[in-house]
Amino acid sequence: MHPASLHRDFAPRLIAWQQGHGRHDLPWQGTLDPYRIWLSEIMLQQTQVETVIPYYSRFLARFPDLATLAAAPEDSVMAHWAGLGYYSRARNLHAAAKLIAAEHNGRFPQQLDAILDLPGIGRSTAAAIAAFAFEQRGAILDGNVKRVLARVFGIDGWPGEKAVETRLWALAEVLLPESDIRAYTQGLMDLGATLCTRACPRCGACPFSDDCSARRQGRQGELPGARPKKSIPEKATAMLILLHGGEILLEKRPAPGIWGGLWSLPECPAAADPARAAASLGYRAETAGRCPARSHSFTHFRLHIQPWLLPVERPFVAEEPGRLWLALDDLDGAALPTPVRRILEAIRGA
Active site positions, annotated: 41
Which distant-in-sequence residues (6+ apart) come within 8 Å of 72 by Cβ? 62, 63, 94
Distance (Å, rounded) from C-alpha 85 to C-alpha 221? 28
Q: Concatenated DSSP letters for 283-308? A: --BS--EEPPPEEEE-SS-EEEEEEE
Distance (Å, rounded) from C-alpha 282 to C-alpha 292? 25
In the chain, DSSP finds a helix count (H) and a strand count (E) of 14, 8
Cβ(152)–Cβ(219) under 8 Å? no
| 248-264 burial code (b ≥16 CB/10 A, e <16) | bbbbbbeeeebbebbbb
For residue 244, give the nearest of 271, 281, 269 by alpha carbon.
281
Which distant-in-sequence residues (6+ apart) come within 8 Å of 347 by Cβ? 241, 243, 248, 291, 309, 328
CA distances in angstroms from 243 to 107, 168, 264, 311, listed in the order given: 46, 54, 14, 5
Distance (Å, rounded) from C-alpha 295 to C-alpha 305? 6
Report CA torsion sign: 150, 119, 114, 133: positive
Report CA torsion sign: 227, 232, 233, 236: positive
